Structure 1
Amino acid sequence: MDVTALPVEPLTRQAFAPFGDVVETAGAELRVINGGTTQRFHDLAEIDVGASGGRAIISVFRGQPFDLPIEIAMMERHPLGSQLFFPVSSRPFLAVVSLDDGGKPAPPRAFLCPPGIGVNYARNVWHHPLLALQAASDFIVVDRDGPGINLEEKEFSNARYRIEEADLRHKTPE
């Protein structure tokens, strides 16, 4: 089986747009509420969970850190709803995503998500399960609960992708 190096890209709204939303306060609509004591960064992501009677739920995921190198051998997607990950811990994480290629994931792209910035995977977008770095990390997750099958997993059939420590060096905030 071939193993291909997977370069890590910085997370930007433009680069991530085919896969969903970058969830950050920079550039967001700011509303001052509660008598001027609170800033609300409004409408940061498209939560899409209503298909087939679904409803939005909020959970906390605690991701264990991955040791480098990280081998990417499979992807998953949620055909009935989006899935938002926002870090509570002040550590970076990786978002690995793929476009669809005839019902299976295309070659992936990897994004380094800095502390304090999350991602919202759009409905039906292939992505790797949570990839925490450095230490166990907590995430607020907004996703779908309800009837129907909302998880599909696929292994890469002829290739594996690897993220090396060198790909994160000088890109990972301390």
Structure 2
Amino acid sequence: MNRSIALAVEPLTRDAFAPFGDVIEAASAARTYAINAGTTTRFHDLATVDTDREGGRPIVSLFRAQPRELPFTVTMLERHPLGSQAFVPVSKKPYLVVVAETPDAVPRLFLARNGQGVNYRAGTWHHPLLALGEVSDFLVIDRGGPGNNCDEATLAATYQIPGNLE
């Protein structure tokens, strides 16, 4: 029989998310400096984009995600073994990030707030986009090119995202 496990919501922080990739936000910048005659601040080197495995190249896309209703049951994860995948929200709504070391491990659930993006390392198991509240757009930087770059796994257990995220 399939068991169901409740997931605890964690804030999305650089340290907590480090095993899975990068948090893309101003606070994660390797360096900060003024550009454009001092009218702009550059938050430099926010994520490691990895796309050149097996002849890949970086591509930029826009994903439009339908909002998910909570509570929500997580039954599968996916990964991209040939390159990283970065999601930068264009919309200002929070969204959820579910990641796991392997499909057999208990996933972790992060709440991403306005101004936070994520960059999944190549091979990181994660759930597809979990937009909240309304249709949300994400700028996505990932790998284009030859080869199978998406593996999916059905989980042995189901995991519940609670209806109340606070």
TM-score of the alignment, normalized to the shorter chain, above 0.5: yes
Native 8 Å contact 2:14 2:28 kept in 1: no
CA distance in structure 2 between the aligned counterparts of 1:70 and 1:126, rounded to whole angstroms: 18
Amino acid corresponding to residue 132 of structure 2 in structure 1: L
Deviation at 1:27, TM superposition (A): 4.7
CA distance in structure 1 between the aligned counterparts of 2:67 and 2:98, rounded to whole angstroms: 15
TM-score (norm 1): 0.91
Give the count of matched residue pairs: 164
Aligned match of 2:110? 111
Aligned match of 1:23? 24
- After superposition, where does 1:90-169 map in structure 2 within 5 Å? 90-100=92-102, 104-157=103-156, 159-166=157-164, 168-169=165-166
CA distance in structure 2 between the aligned counterparts of 1:128 and 1:105, rounded to whole angstroms: 14
Native 8 Å contact 2:70 2:161 kept in 1: yes
Structure 1: which 5+ residue stretches go unaligned?
170-174
Native 8 Å contact 1:105 1:126 kept in 2: no
Native 8 Å contact 2:28 2:46 kept in 1: no
CA distance in structure 2 between the aligned counterparts of 1:132 and 1:92, rounded to whole angstroms: 7
Amino acid corresponding to residue 9 of structure 1 in structure 2: E
Structure 2: which 5+ residue stretches go unaligned?
none
- After superposition, where does 1:38-117 map in structure 2 within 5 Å? 38-100=40-102, 104-117=103-116
Structure 1 segments of 4+ aligned residues over 3 angstroms from their partners: none
CA distance in structure 1 between the aligned counterparts of 2:95 and 2:89, rounded to whole angstroms: 8
TM-score (norm 2): 0.96
